[in-house]
Homo-oligomer: A and B are copies of this chain.
Amino acid sequence: MRAEIITIGDEILIGQTVDTNSAWMGQLLSSNGISIFRTTSISDTKDEIIAAVDAAMQRSELVLMTGGLGPTKDDITKHTLCEYFDTPLKINQEVLERIEAFFAQRNRPMLEVNVQQAAMPEACTVLPNKQGTASGMWFEKYNSILVSMPGVPYEMKGLMTEEVMPRLQKRLNISAIYHRTLMTQGIGESFLAEQIADWEDKVRAEGFGLAYLPNLSTVKLRLTSPRGEEDATRIEDLFQELEERLPVHVFGRDDVMLEEAVGNLLKDKGITVGAIESCTGGELSAKFVSIAGSSAYYLGSLVTYTDALKQKMVGVQKETLVKHGAVSEQTVIEMAEGGRKVLDTDYAIAISGIAGPDGGTEEKPVGTVWMAIASEQGTQTRCLHLGSNRSRNIQITVQHALNTLRVKVLAEHA
């Protein structure tokens, strides 16, 4: 099935917004065996929309469109689609009720423009949007399908996973390309490739596709079988082989997030955790809490950004700070051990570093980060040497902290 994507909105054309929707949809569709052969971004004017839609409908069997819907701007897209598909707009009672409920739940007044969002083209199948007030629309013409969705990413994603993909799968009897992903952390792409060169030769000889997908300190290994699900067992065997070879780096399968893998491990083992953060400023704690159900193992944290709070909250000795500095192995050990007592957790992770872009010295350049993990079995420390990008340094540090915790817990609770 040939598919293409059209994104509508001047904010994309003038570069105020990067088009992440197309990439997300491209991933989802290609992993379901639908190949995207073109994506187009256009401005939200009637002529541009008609020209792009008409060309796409004649070329492709599936056209996914995002953007150009919403209370202040849906006029153009919706009216243009009505004109193109030769159908009138009509208030849809079900949609109206959903919009009313949306505002009622949020205790917010509903305006006339929101009522107008319930006006839907008669010829389309309405796709309910659980995340917002702009519904999706599914049209058919010339044996092609056109789906129009709002451009707000989480609304589009909700519509794609809950409405569009199930319909496509039913309609097309998709024989999915089968692929699975092995998640690794803390090993660079080229280094990983070198370590598993023989394994890679083997899987390629067996006809599998292999892709390295790096992101921050995580590299996903995606193995694709052209033969479909019959290869499931073989892929699992191949993944287990890597897992045994790289136990420190392999943390999961199939796009599980590291914080989720760590959370599941803690829950399984009945272990509680807390954090004492300085340069990461609460980001590690927020990662724990981002997982629903985290209260089963995550109890709380102290963000001791100043030296005064490091002393007051977790009892770091003044002499330690004076002698070794806030960014030092000695300080993170005292933070972790002191914090573990205060928070009353099984494990406590302490982090102190120079996130950047400034603030480094010759001895401790920007990107120097110390971490310590304290447990009943003892305290383990680690030093990272990162770059000068503040936000990247924080994100990478948090990933390393989570993975170091994972490895320590596995070693101590075999």
Q: Which residues of A contact B (CB under 8 A)?
A: 10-20, 22-28, 30, 35-43, 48, 52, 70-73, 105-109, 111, 113-114, 131, 152, 154, 179, 181, 188-191, 193-194, 211-215, 220, 222, 255, 275, 277, 279-286, 288-290, 292, 294-295, 298-306, 308-309, 313, 342-344, 355-358, 365, 367, 385-387, 389-392, 394
Task: Beyond A12-B26, A17-B213, list 20 extra A-B contacts (CB 8 Å).
Answer: A12-B22, A12-B39, A15-B22, A15-B25, A16-B27, A19-B23, A37-B42, A38-B43, A38-B52, A39-B40, A39-B41, A40-B41, A111-B191, A114-B190, A281-B288, A281-B290, A286-B286, A290-B390, A290-B394, A308-B344
State the CA gap A141–B5 with chains docked (Å): 29
| CB nearest neighbor in B for A272 | B306
* Pairs across A and B, CB under 8 Å, 7 listed: A13-B39, A16-B23, A106-B387, A111-B194, A285-B303, A301-B301, A309-B343
Of B194, B279, B289, B304, the residue contacting A305 (CB under 8 A) is B289
Question: Contacts of A292 on B, CB cut-off 8 Å?
Answer: 356-358, 390
Given contacts A18-B20, A305-B298, A212 and B39 within 8 Å (CB-CB) = no
- Pairs A-B, 5 closest by C-beta atoms: A281-B289, A282-B282, A282-B285, A15-B26, A15-B27
* Interface contact A40-B40, CB-CB below 8 Å: yes
State the CA gap A190–B30 with chains docked (Å): 36
* Interface contact A27-B41, CB-CB below 8 Å: no
State the CA gap A255–B109 with chains docked (Å): 28
Question: Contacts of A36 on B, CB cut-off 8 Å?
Answer: 13-14
Question: Contacts of A154 on B, CB cut-off 8 Å?
Answer: 389, 392
* Interface contact B290-A313, CB-CB below 8 Å: no
Of B220, B385, B387, the residue contacting A107 (CB under 8 A) is B385
* Interface contact B19-A22, CB-CB below 8 Å: yes
* Interface contact B286-A71, CB-CB below 8 Å: no
* Interface contact A11-B281, CB-CB below 8 Å: no
Nearest CB of chain B from residue A20's CB, rounded to whole Å: 6
Question: Contacts of A35 on B, CB cut-off 8 Å?
Answer: 13
* Interface contact A106-B386, CB-CB below 8 Å: yes
* Interface contact A282-B279, CB-CB below 8 Å: no
* Interface contact A190-B106, CB-CB below 8 Å: no
* Interface contact B41-A13, CB-CB below 8 Å: no
Question: Contacts of A389 on B, CB cut-off 8 Å?
Answer: 131, 154
* Interface contact B19-A19, CB-CB below 8 Å: yes
Nearest CB of chain B from residue A296's CB, rounded to whole Å: 11
State the CA gap A386–B72 with chains docked (Å): 22
Nearest CB of chain B from residue A181's CB, rounded to whole Å: 8
State the CA gap A285–B289 with chains docked (Å): 13
Nearest CB of chain B from residue A192's CB, rounded to whole Å: 8
* Interface contact A70-B12, CB-CB below 8 Å: no
* Interface contact A309-B300, CB-CB below 8 Å: yes
State the CA gap A306–B285 with chains docked (Å): 13
Nearest CB of chain B from residue A282's CB, rounded to whole Å: 3
Of B16, B40, B305, B313, the residue contacting A38 (CB under 8 A) is B40
Question: Contacts of A281 on B, CB cut-off 8 Å?
Answer: 282, 285-286, 288-290, 294, 298
Of B13, B23, B52, the residue contacting A18 (CB under 8 A) is B23
Given contacts A131-B387, A390-B292, A42 and B38 within 8 Å (CB-CB) = yes
Q: Considering residues A30, A290, A303, which has the most beta carbons from chain B within 10 angstroms of its beta carbon?
A: A303
